Amino acid sequence: MEKKITILPGDGIGPEVVASAVEVLQAVGKRFQHTFHIAYATIGGAAIDQHEDPLPQETIELCEQSDAILLGAVGGPKWDQNPAELRPEKGLLRIRKHFDLFSNLRPVQAVPSLIKASPLKDDLVKDVDLLIVRELTGGLYFGEPRKRTDEEALDSLVYTRPEIERIVENAFELARVRRGKLTSVDKANVLDTSRLWRQIVDEKKAQYPDVEVEHSLVDSTAMKLITNPGAYDVIVTENMFGDILSDEASVITGSLGVLPSASIRSDNFGLYEPVHGSAPELAGRGIANPAATILSVAMMLRYSFGLKEEAAEIERAVNAVFEDGYFTADLATPDSRVLTTNEWTEKVLNELDTSFVSDSIMTTYI
Choose which of 135, 243, 315, 351 interacts with ligand IPM (CB under 6 A): 243
Report helix, strand or coil for 1. Answer: coil
Check residue 244 for interaction with ligand IPM (CB under 6 A): no
Q: Which of residues 223-252 bind Mn ion (CB under 5 A)?
A: 243
Nearer to ligand IPM (CB atom), residue 29 or residue 277: 277
Nearest residue to 132 via CA among 268, 253, 313, 277 = 253
Shorter beta-carbon distance to ligand IPM: residue 163 or 243: 243
CA-to-CA distance for 200 and 202, rounded, in angstroms?
Answer: 5
By CB under 6 A, name the one of 92, 225, 292, 331 that touches ligand IPM. Answer: 92
Three-class DSSP category at 287: coil
The correct pick among 93, 124, 157, 332 for binding ligand IPM (CB under 6 A) is 93
Cβ atoms of 170 and 207 within 8 Å: the answer is no
Among the candidate windows 86-94, 147-155, 203-211, 339-347, which touches ligand IPM by CB under 6 A? 86-94
Cβ neighbours, 10 Å, residue 50 = 10
* Of 101, 98, 158, residue with least CA distance to 134: 101
At 91, give phi and psi (nearest 5°): -60, -40
Under a CB-based contact definition with an 8 Å cutoff, are residues 93 and 244 in contact?
Answer: no
Indicate the residue among 89 and 155 with the shorter CB distance to ligand IPM.
89
Distance, in Å, from the CA atom of 124 to the CA atom of 107, rounded to the nearest integer, reads 17
Q: Which does 86 bind (CB under 5 to 8 A by kind): ligand IPM, Mn ion, none?
A: none
Closer residue to ligand IPM (CB): 23 or 243: 243
Determine contact, residues 293/70, Cβ cutoff 8 Å.
Answer: yes
Residue 219 is among the residues annotated as catalytic for this protein = yes
247 in active site: yes
State in angstroms the smallest separation of the CB of 352 from ligand IPM.
29
Cβ nearer to Mn ion, comparing 252 with 314: 252
Please say whether the beta carbons of 323 and 284 come within 8 A: no
**Residue 19 binds which entry of Mn ion, ligand IPM, none, CB below 5-8 Å type-dependent:** none
Dihedral sign, CA of 41, 11, 346, 125? negative
| CB-facing half-sphere around the CA of 2: CA atoms within 13 A | 0
Does the footprint of ligand IPM cover residue 108 (CB under 6 A)?
Answer: no
Part in contact with ligand IPM (CB under 6 A); list of ranges 88-96, 146-154, 161-169, 286-294: 88-96
Catalytic residues: 141, 187, 219, 243, 247
Contacts with ligand IPM, residue ranges (CB under 6 A): 89, 92-93, 243
- Kindly list the residues in this chain that would bind Mn ion in the complex (CB under 5 A): 243
